[in-house]
C-alpha cells in the first residue's frame, strides 16, 4: 500500500485494494479512471502503472498510456513497470530459447534488455531518492520510510535481473551497480546452481520482512514485488515458500484478507503446476492454507472446512 497523507480518492482506493491483496481489481479501477479522465497528471499516471505492474498487465498498456507522449515526466511506478516489463520479455523469450542454443544474437539481446532494465530502475531510483531528500527535514516519518522501501525495491529488481540475465546468457554481464547487488560477481554460474542462487536472494528478502512486519503497509509492496519477480524467475516453485510466508506476515498483522488472497493465488498456481507436472500439492502448502482458514473461520465457529483441508493430504 502506498503511504500518502494526501492525494486523489482513486489513489487511496487503489492503495487500500493493494493492501488487502486485490491488485487485479485495483488495476481495473485505475484503468477505468484513467480512460474516463479528461486530463492526465503524474499522480494519476503513477497510480495506473503501479496497478499495472502489480497485475502483471504487460500487454494492457500502449502508446496512449505512455506519459512521455503527453509531456508528463515518468513517475516511479511508470519506470518500475517498464523495468519489470523488460524483464518479463526476457523470461518469455528464455522459455523458447534452450540454454545450449543461446547464440550471439540472443546474448546481445539479453545484454540490451539488461541495460534497459537498469535504465528504468535508475529513473525510478532517482524519483524515490528525490522524494526522500525533500522530506528529510520534515516530520513525515512514514512517508520517508515509504521512499526507503521504494529504493529497496529498485535494488531488489536490479539485483535479481542481473542474476537472471547473467544465468540466461551463461556469462556475467557488467553492471554499474554490481557492488550493490547480492550477486555482482563476474564468475560463471553453472545452470545446476541457478535455483540455489535465486533461493539465496529470496532468503535475503525474507529476512528483511522481520524488520518491517510491525508495519504491514511498508512490507506489502516488497512482498508483492518479490512474488512477481519469482514468477519471472526460472524457478517459480520458490513462489510456494514466498506466498506461505506472505500469508504468515499478513496474519501476524491481522490482515486476513491479504493472507487469504495469498493462499488463493497459491492455490491457482499450484493447480496449474499439478496439471503440467502431474504432481499434488506439497503438505507444507496445505498446512499454511489450513492455518489461514482456521484464523478466518474460527471466530465464526465454523472451522471444520479448514480442518478437513489440513487432513485431506494425509488421507489421500
pLDDT in tens, 203-252: 999 999 988 867 888 999 999 999 999 988 878 778 889 999 999 999 88
273 found inside a domain:
yes
Q: How far is Cα 69 from Cα 172, in angstroms, rounded to an integer? A: 35
3, part of any domain:
no
Number of domains in the chain: 2
Residue 152 sits in the same domain as residue 278: no
Query: 303: part of which helix (H) or strand (E)?
Result: none
Please say if the pLDDT value at position 169 is more than 60: no
Residues in the chain: 316
The half-sphere exposure of 285 on its side-chain side, counting CA atoms within 13 A, is 21
Percent of the chain with pLDDT over 70: 66
Who has greater pLDDT, 198 or 99? 198
274 grid coordinates: 499439478
On whether both 19 and 50 belong to a single domain, the answer is yes
Cα–Cα dist 241/264, whole Å: 14
Considering only 1-10, 145-154, 195-204, which range has the smallest mean pLDDT? 1-10
Tell me the mean pLDDT in the region 172-200: 53
Query: What is the structure's pLDDT at 6?
Result: 38
CA distances from 88 to 13, 73, 114 (A): 27, 23, 11
Identify which of 192, 234, 237, 230 has the alpha carbon closest to the alpha carbon of residue 91: 234
Query: Which residues in 56-93 are b (16+ Cβ under 10 Å) and which e?
Result: bbbeebeeebebeeeebebbbbbbbbbbbbbbbbbbee
For residues 84 and 305, give the distance between their C-alpha atoms in angstroms, rounded to a whole number: 38
pLDDT band at 167 (very low <50, low <70, confident <90, very high): very low
Q: Is the pLDDT of residue 196 over 90?
A: no
Q: Which of 28-37, 129-138, 154-163, 172-181 has the lowest mean pLDDT?
A: 172-181
Same domain, 169 and 277: no
Q: Is the pLDDT of residue 157 over 90?
A: yes
Dig out the grid coordinates for 104 from the structure: 550471439
Instruction: Answer yes or no: is 141 within a domain.
Output: yes
Q: Is residue 26 part of a domain?
A: yes
Domain encompassing residue 306? 259-316
Count CB atoms within 10 A of the CB of residue 289.
25
- Does the structure show a pLDDT above 70 at 191? no
> Any idea which residue has 527535514 for its cell?
137
Residue 2 lies in a domain: no
Confidence band of 24 (pLDDT split at 50, 70, 90): confident
Confirm whether 73 is domain-assigned: yes
Q: What's the gap between Cα 109 and its chain centre?
A: 24
Residues 49 and 168 in one domain: yes
* Domain C-terminal end among 219, 234, 258: 258
Amino acid at each position: 500500500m502506498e503511504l500518502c497523507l494526501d492525494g486523489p480518492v482513486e489513489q487511496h482506493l487503489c492503495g487500500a485494494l493493494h493492501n488487502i491483496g486485490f491488485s487485479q481489481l485495483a488495476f481495473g479501477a485505475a484503468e477505468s479512471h484513467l480512460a474516463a479522465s479528461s486530463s492526465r497528471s503524474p499522480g494519476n499516471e503513477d497510480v495506473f502503472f503501479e496497478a499495472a505492474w502489480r497485475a502483471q498487465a504487460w500487454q494492457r498498456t500502449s502508446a496512449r498510456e505512455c506519459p512521455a507522449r503527453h509531456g508528463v515526466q515518468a513517475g516511479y511506478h511508470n519506470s518500475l513497470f517498464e523495468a519489470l516489463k523488460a524483464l518479463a520479455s526476457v523470461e518469455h523469450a528464455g522459455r523458447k530459447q534452450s540454454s545450449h542454443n543461446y547464440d550471439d544474437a540472443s546474448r546481445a539481446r539479453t545484454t540490451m534488455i539488461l541495460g534497459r532494465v537498469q535504465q528504468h530502475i535508475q529513473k525510478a531510483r532517482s524519483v524515490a531518492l528525490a522524494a526522500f531528500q525533500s522530506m528529510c527535514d520534515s516530520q513525515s516519518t512514514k512517508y520517508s520510510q515509504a521512499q526507503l522501501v521504494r529504493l529497496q525495491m529498485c535494488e531488489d529488481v536490479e539485483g535479481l535481473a542481473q542474476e537472471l540475465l547473467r544465468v540466461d546468457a551463461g556469462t556475467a554481464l557488467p553492471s554499474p551497480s554490481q557492488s550493490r547487488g547480492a550477486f555482482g560477481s563476474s564468475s560463471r554460474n553453472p545452470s545446476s546452481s541457478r535455483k540455489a542462487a535465486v533461493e539465496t536472494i529470496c532468503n535475503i528478502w525474507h529476512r528483511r520482512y522481520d524488520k518491517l512486519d510491525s508495519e504491514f503497509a511498508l512490507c506489502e509492496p516488497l512482498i508483492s514485488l518479490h512474488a512477481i519477480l519469482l514468477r519471472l524467475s526460472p524457478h517459480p516453485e520458490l513462489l510456494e515458500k514466498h506466498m506461505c510466508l506472505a500469508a504468515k506476515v499478513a496474519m501476524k498483522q491481522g490482515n486476513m484478507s491479504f493472507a487469504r488472497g495469498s493462499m488463493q493465488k497459491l492455490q491457482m498456481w499450484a493447480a496449474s503446476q499439478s496439471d503440467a507436472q502431474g504432481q499434488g500439492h506439497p503438505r507444507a502448502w496445505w498446512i499454511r492454507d489450513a492455518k489461514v482458514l482456521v484464523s478466518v473461520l474460527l471466530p465464526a465457529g465454523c472451522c471444520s472446512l479448514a480442518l478437513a483441508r489440513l487432513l485431506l493430504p494425509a488421507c489421500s
